[in-house]
Amino acid sequence: MLFCFPSISHISQPSCQPVRQVDLDETSLVISRQTDLNETFSVLPRMSYPQPFVDKPQRTDVLLMSPWLAPIMWEGTFNRDILNAQYRQKNFVVGVATFAVKKYVRFIEGFLGSANKFFLSGHRVNFYLFTDQPEKVPSMKLAPEKKLFTITVQSYSRWQDISMNRMDIISNHIRTHWRYEVDYLYSMDIDVQMFEHIGVEIIDTLVGTISSWQYTKPRDSNSYERRPESRAAIPSGEGDFYYAASFYGGSVSEVYKLTTACFKGVTEDRANGIEAKWHEESHLNKYLLYHKPTRLLSPEYYWDEELPRPQIIRVKRLSSVRKDLKEVRS
Ligand SMILES: CC(=O)N[C@H]1[C@@H](OP(=O)(O)OP(=O)(O)OC[C@H]2O[C@@H](n3ccc(=O)[nH]c3=O)[C@H](O)[C@@H]2O)O[C@H](CO)[C@H](O)[C@@H]1O
Ligand SMILES: [Mn+2]
């Protein structure tokens, strides 16, 4: 059985996906997609690669595992060929939600051009581009396994509202569309470009990216919201890493819980006349403190262009595009 959504305009020759069924209830989504036994027992091609040894860590200069045993992705710690071979057996579809509202349409080409090349190269990816100006989406030739869906959204006068409302739009779209269309979902800022591969090492149940601005700071000088009046408040003395809202994701059901909870916090703050210090990023940080990510992306996965690159950052996989904040947000 095939299923298509007529409300989404298909830009790069989409084909209908087989139906996925993720059941919604109040707090969680349960994936009831049947496992194909042929997939489970299929024989892997022989691979040749250096043997891992328990007494020879791949890197000793960085933290490879959080205290709750979530692996942290760093260049030099994984073998992409092994990961790709394992992942290919699953036939997953990954969705990427990104927004280009008002002047941010100028970033679409750089984002999509680089993501087409470097994001989950060789794997099935659906890019979902939310914009108020669908006519400005450039027609781009994407790799056969990549598809672009453009979805029209309204604009808001304040840039903070555009940024914060992403949580609501993503949560709603999971309920109406994505639970049938994709297995994993990532939200990414549009004002970024990719320079190196971002592969299946990012795939896990709940994934956060450690901010490149604050990865060495003690928790009490990080940018968490500390005012107790805000729903995003994190009490002083608490906090793990500072996570960037520009890149997070996970299974459809976990991203549903995250975006729904964060937007609830935003809505309650609005009702109480308060706005968290870093908008939805503050709410995301609160959520990920109490719902620990199952995998962390090191700052390689969101390296800010303005920062000098220390030795531990061996590759810059993704970076923000320099922008005149006042001009682009006006
Ligand atoms: C690196 C990082 O931590 N980034 C966060 C930081 O970002 P930034 O300063 O990078 O925020 P930003 O200006 O990129 O806005 C976030 C995103 O919202 C969308 N957008 C925003 C304004 C607009 O007029 N049109 C539009 O489409 C667009 O997808 C953009 O990438 O703070 C923001 C809110 O305070 C968000 O939490 C960002 O994720
Ligand atoms: Mn940004």
CA–CA separation, 280 and 263 (whole Å): 8
pLDDT at 13: 38
pLDDT at 15: 43
Ligand 1 closest atom vs CA 98: 29
**Pocket perturbation via mutation, ligand 1, pick of 246, 297, 317 by most ligand atoms within 8 A of CB:** 246
What mean pLDDT value characterizes the chain?
Answer: 90
The answer on pLDDT for 29 being more than 60 is no
How far apart, in Å, do the first and last CA atoms of the chain sit?
46
Average pLDDT over residues 162-191: 97
Closest CA to 114 of 328, 319, 325, 323: 319
DSSP characters over 67-120: TT--BEE-TTS--HHHHHHHHHTT---EEEEEEE-GGGGGGHHHHHHHHHHHBS
Helix, strand, coil percentages, rounded to 5, for the chain: 30, 20, 50
Q: Which atom of ligand 1 is nearest to the CA of 281?
A: 37
Mean pLDDT of 278-295: 98
Give nearest CA residue, ligand 1 atom 32.
Answer: 278
ipTM score for this prediction: 0.93
Question: Residue whose CA is closest, atom 4 of ligand 1?
Answer: 246
Residue 234 reports pLDDT greater than 60: yes
Structure token pair of residue 264:
């609830």
Give the count of alpha carbons within 13 A of 198, CB side only.
30
Backbone Cα Rg of the chain: 20
The band of 102, judged by pLDDT with boundaries at 50, 70 and 90, is very high
| CB hemisphere CA count around 113 (13 angstroms) | 10
Q: Whose CA is nearest to atom 16 of ligand 1?
A: 163
What integer pLDDT is reported at residue 39 of this predicted model?
53
Q: How far is the CA of 163 from the centre of ligand 1 (A)?
A: 6
The tokens for 256 are: 């549903």
Distance 302 CA to ligand 2 centre (A): 10
Look at residue 1 in the predicted model and tell me its pLDDT.
33
pLDDT at 20: 65
Residues with catalytic function: 281
216 pLDDT band, cuts 50/70/90, is confident
Q: What is the DSSP string of 39-69?
A: HHHPPPPP---PPP-TTS-S-SSS--B-TT-
The conformational region for residue 159 under phi > 0 = left, psi -120 to 50 = alpha, else beta, is alpha
This prediction has a pTM of: 0.90
Mean pLDDT of 316-325: 94
Q: How far is CA 204 from CA 56, 119, 188, in A?
A: 25, 15, 16
Nearest to 72 by CA among 215, 197, 191: 215
Structure tokens that stand for 283 in this block: 């709410």
Closest to 239 in 3D by CA, of 258, 257, 226:
226
Domains and CATH numbers, the chain: 60-328 (3.90.550.10)
Write down the pLDDT at residue 200.
98
Q: Is pLDDT above 90 for 85? A: yes
Of ligand 1's listed atoms, the one at least distance from the Cα of 191 is 31
CA distances from 71 to 75, 229, 294 (A): 13, 33, 7
pLDDT in tens, 107-127: 999 999 999 999 999 999 999
Which range of 42-46, 47-51, 89-93, 192-196 scores highest in mean pLDDT? It is 192-196
For the record, the structure tokens of 29 come out as 């989504």
What separation in Å is there between the alpha carbon of 246 and the centre of ligand 1? 7
* Ligand whose nearest atom lies closest to the CA of 302: 1
Residue holding tokens 């598809």? 147
Rounded distance, CA 115 to CA 100, Å? 15
At 41 the pLDDT is 56
Name the H helices within the chain: 37-41, 80-88, 108-118, 159-173, 179-181, 252-271, 280-290, 325-328
